Structure 1
């Protein structure tokens, strides 16, 4: 929105023609925590005034005193899996879960749907499926696989937010991995148009040489995904990004040993960003029970000291954002009955729980909610180029959440809006309850999908 458009819409505040006014004693704005009245017109914020200013609107909502007003979160790492593996998740269930967790925008991964999002035709199929079912805003990543270089510019033209690749087997045969040289070719294709490559960074050769996971002991699975595999692959990404000048992003960092390498690369001017996930920040290998395959993810949950180092990397700015990497599956595929870590699907279901998970651990560590929102809303929206998301400010989209930070609850996997009741957080007490979520100024009612499909263009 241009300054002139913002000014024109802000004029609605004078005439009282606002669609909605939200009044909050505590709202998390770019200027800090404030008592405000937020005026909304046609889905956008057109006024943020001090509480008591007397804004008038067709509807006025007061945030209860035990709740705070937050910008809606942006989760740029979500596996919705539809079409093709809709029994694992789907756009209706995933976006309901997102809304229940205060997430107002998700960016869908190019796998594990069938077909994967590696051509414009496949993107069109996914959009056609998602559009009528989206309760929050949905954007899409494209996929980088061997042989689809020619599809990348057309996919960018159609609004994908960038491209994902793997440096080892992805877990599904229809989305093959790239070699380091092929990854460089993708970077060379994307650099002239400032395209973004996001990378699952684990080295295939090191993984293949490691002991193969089998049985119910988590320690055996952990040994099958050694730290060196992640560190070596991250070094490859950095080196190829340095050569090409392309933008690169490290997905789901689990190995804190790589933080210093990332820090140095950024200092050297490599165009690199990094994410980590709630499961790496809240869970530890020492506490994973035998046979508890709901905890399996790749790269894996590591030791408590590693978790502490990841938090340090967030606080010093080396790690940029926190996203869910919501990668659900059915109980059968997750191996709930047999508990064999070698056979179970690797992925954690957490889309609805990301905010309370991270906030609970941050609260325990004395880290502010402002920091959490920076990592999960403000910086994630900037990372994907959605500058109108992730903030309570004039000109921003009216994507908001009412959040009770001191209210606790116990996770019941069966009560979550995820399609399958499989999560490592079942029975865990957390702080922070999302009471209401608004998308473009409309409260999500979980019955009528009103989310929009987003384009990076």
Structure 2
């Protein structure tokens, strides 16, 4: 073995065990009670748990074109600091958007040699680019994203129901959908109450029904992004009972914050769809526990501080949380009786399986040696000045959280934030 990591607590697909994890040529070669003869042994502290590196399939890096919002160097440093070792970058907010192969190559060129974790890419579905979907798939995107409502940037317009069905029939890969019904979304007011009222629960449940109907008709595989309204859960349950291939995700901010605590002017909390009421948050947690929500990912959507200025009508809608997802979810999960095995399923193996990376997100022989040392009982207060993403804007500032990522390894090499070791991944694995 090149490296052995020794821990009293290791989260494996079979549960939590005390084990040595042996690494050879960047992959996990063995998980055994004791492994000898290693070139190097790292013994975790008694209060640390060895987790697989998390997989975040919903990240907006915005690079190139809007790298003043975020860039590959800063985003992937933040990811590693949060125990995330693989991200899949969304096709919009960068310029050009990833809606054809030429744009994908521009994106890859921006990331090459600058990533501290592994990076894959989504392609985009917009009106008029059906002919680009197969070439994008063959070029290695992990699937395709579309919006049913305005995306926030004019260069990535939404699709209607007929365009969605046509894209599902053509894509030949997973299609992930921002599911808000444009006919249910109204002009936002400047207060949080006004913003919340402009994007009601029905906007999500109606849009999810549209997605489900299109998937049922075409037989395609679809995924509902950033579910914020628990009213969508029944639509998802019914679809699955009917055999529709639909999955769903939610995000740490929907599992943490509540509308009741958001003050007018606190635009760092603005996101689309919005953070909803406390009762809704508990229903999302129940849906997660019951398996109606499949994964938890960040929807890391950063911007400059200037774009967060103003009120809830004018500020950019997006929350930057790539570094904080694990402690944010763990803080809430353990209060509700969940274990780290659950968190790993939601945030590591689940997203890896969603995008087709069976060698990521698990501590098992044959998997990449992407790992993190996590101290679940250490508490801290979020200080935006200590975050690694480009702009220190976050609703988590000043919030106490439980769980500290102390070290992260990518294919057996500790991520130091100095030498970028991340690879660019292609759909189906790398």
Question: What band does the TM-score fall into relative to the shorter chain?
Answer: over 0.9
Cα deviation, residue 227, structure 1: 1.0
Distance 1:204 1:410 in 2: 38
Aligned counterpart, 1:314: 288
Aligned counterpart, 1:41: 24
- SS of residue paired to 1:46: strand
CA contact (8 A) 2:331 2:403 kept: yes
2:86 matched to 1:108?
Answer: no
Aligned counterpart, 1:3: none
CA contact (8 A) 1:39 1:55 kept: no
TM-score (norm 1): 0.93
- SS of residue paired to 1:26: strand
Aligned counterpart in structure 1 of residue 13 of structure 2, from 30, 42, 45: 30
Gaps of 5+ in 2: none
Aligned counterpart, 1:401: 372
Cα deviation, residue 129, structure 1: 0.8
CA contact (8 A) 2:189 2:198 kept: no
- SS of residue paired to 1:24: strand
Q: 1:186-212: per-residue Cα shift (whole Å, max 9, x none)?
A: 01112xx3x1110000011111xx3x2
Aligned counterpart, 1:277: 251
2:344 matched to 1:373?
Answer: yes
Aligned counterpart, 2:231: 257
Alignment of 1:142-161 (within 5 A): 142-161=123-142
Aligned counterpart, 1:444: 415
Aligned counterpart, 1:180: 161
Aligned counterpart, 1:200: 178
2:198 matched to 1:224?
Answer: yes
- SS of residue paired to 1:188: helix
Alignment of 1:376-391 (within 5 A): 376-391=347-362
Provide the aligned C-alpha RMSD in A. Answer: 0.7
Distance 2:214 2:315 in 1: 33
Distance 1:147 1:248 in 2: 20
Quick check: which has more Rg, 1 or 2? Answer: 1
- SS of residue paired to 1:204: coil
Aligned counterpart, 1:323: 297
2:213 matched to 1:213?
Answer: no
Distance 1:382 1:55 in 2: 32
- SS of residue paired to 2:42: strand
Cα deviation, residue 214, structure 1: 3.0
Distance 1:206 1:396 in 2: 44
Distance 1:230 1:260 in 2: 12
Q: 1:388-411: per-residue Cα shift (whole Å, max 9, x none)?
A: 001100000000000000000000
Aligned counterpart in structure 2 of residue 118 of structure 1, from 90, 95, 99: 99
Distance 2:249 2:147 in 1: 16
Cα deviation, residue 55, structure 1: 2.1
- SS of residue paired to 2:390: coil
Aligned counterpart, 2:112: 131
Cα deviation, residue 246, structure 1: 0.2
2:321 matched to 1:347?
Answer: no
Distance 1:252 1:430 in 2: 22
TM-score (norm 2): 0.99
